[in-house]
Amino acid sequence: MSPAVGLAAATRPWLWGTAGAIALTLLLLNLVLAVAVHGRRLRQSVRSRREKTFRARVESIMRELDQAGTRDPGRLRQEIASFDELERPIAATMLIERLKPASQAEREHTLDALRAAGAIELLVRSTRRRMPWRRALAIRTLGWAGATETVPLLIERLSDSNRSVREAAVRALGRIGDARALAPLDALFGSPGRVGSGVVYDALVAFGAEAAPTFVRGLRSRVASVRVAACFGVAAVSEPGEARAAVEPLLADAEAPVRGAAAETLRQVGGERVPDGLAAALHDEQPTVRSAAAAALGAYDDPRAVELALAALLDPDRDTAVCAGESLVRLSRSPAAAEAAAAALRRSEGSWPVERAQIFASLGVV
């Protein structure tokens, strides 16, 4: 030991005491960390083995549910009621995965078995659990099962304090398709915010023509995003003629996204005559509206569409010119406009939007 170190040790004994305490603390922390890591691995191993065993048990129960006339509802009720807090979410997830690819007849059979075994009652109780994810999972399961008797409860869950639970309820109501859900879903669609507008839209589309009045009302909403969604909703659930009549006025909407959605909707429904509003949209101040209108021309079996598309090839917006070229190619296949479109394509030979469209057409894309 050097004289300097020895002097420091003699004059400052607290330094060595502090260093020893720090070393001991670090050693203890390392030991605690090692025990924690080992304990976590051990718990995961035990949980994995337990989950594997439980999954086999649930598979056995589901096979019994599939065997009409041979199952014992009383025993199955006791079996399902014995699931603990960790097992119920696993069973619910397995049930959903089983129901997703099932036919309507298979789902109805499974639902009858679940009712007899008391599983629907347990799921209903779980929709009021303290933890939001448990409520949402129970609601999802009821939706996939198609339990119509739970529709009032699911409507009540639309007011849940948690957004994910509300959205799970919306999806469940859409899957069940009970008319009692139309009024509350209509209210949510018209006043977006508490639930994602796309979630409500998908649920309403699942109702088919029954949801048409909701989408038609949405076309008159003061909220632009609702009008946009309503355009596509009308096209999805209404007859083409009804959809065209409802959507055409929105080509003159004050908001560009709405005008664009109206043009895109008219492309989806098509027709025999190009609407005057669609022709006017080719001169819209917003390029996105012009490109949507140019793309829509190809859906109309009307020689007038050929001349409009030919003029749109010269649009300064690249996307609009591309859509015009693709529309000309599509029109060349339509009965009434084929001759005029073929002549237009010959006149436009060498035009890059037309060459591009023809290349993509040869690949089966256009």
- Residue 86, pLDDT score: 80
Closest CA to 63 of 103, 27, 98, 28: 98
- Residue 160, pLDDT score: 95
Provide the Cα torsion 55, 59, 60, 65; round to 10°.
140
54: which residues sit within 8 A by CB, 6+ positions away? 87, 90, 91
Length of the chain: 366
Closest CA to 253 of 264, 242, 261, 243: 261
Asked if 256 contacts 286 with a C-beta cutoff of 8 angstroms, the reply is: yes
- Residue 331, pLDDT score: 96
- Residue 183, pLDDT score: 96
| Full pLDDT tens readout for the chain, 366 residues | 555 555 455 556 666 667 777 877 887 888 788 777 766 766 666 566 766 777 777 787 777 666 655 456 677 777 777 787 888 888 888 889 989 998 998 889 889 888 888 889 999 999 999 999 999 999 999 999 999 999 999 999 999 999 999 999 999 999 999 999 999 999 999 998 889 889 999 999 999 999 999 999 999 999 999 999 999 999 999 999 999 999 999 999 999 999 999 999 999 999 999 999 999 999 999 999 999 999 999 999 999 999 999 999 999 999 999 999 999 999 999 999 999 999 999 999 889 999 999 999 999 888
How far is the C-alpha of 225 from the C-alpha of 228, rounded, in Å? 5
Phi then psi dihedrals of residue 340, to 5 deg: -65, -40
Angle at 157 between CA 151 and CA 162, to 5 degrees: 155
Closest CA to 285 of 249, 254, 262: 254
Asked if 259 contacts 287 with a C-beta cutoff of 8 angstroms, the reply is: no
How far is the C-alpha of 189 from the C-alpha of 230, rounded, in Å? 9
Tokens of residue 18, six digits = 């502090």
Place of tokens 């957004």: 163
Asked if 247 contacts 237 with a C-beta cutoff of 8 angstroms, the reply is: no
Spell out the domains of the chain, with CATH numbers in brackets: 271-366 (1.25.10)
68: which residues sit within 8 A by CB, 6+ positions away? 109, 113
- Residue 13, pLDDT score: 66
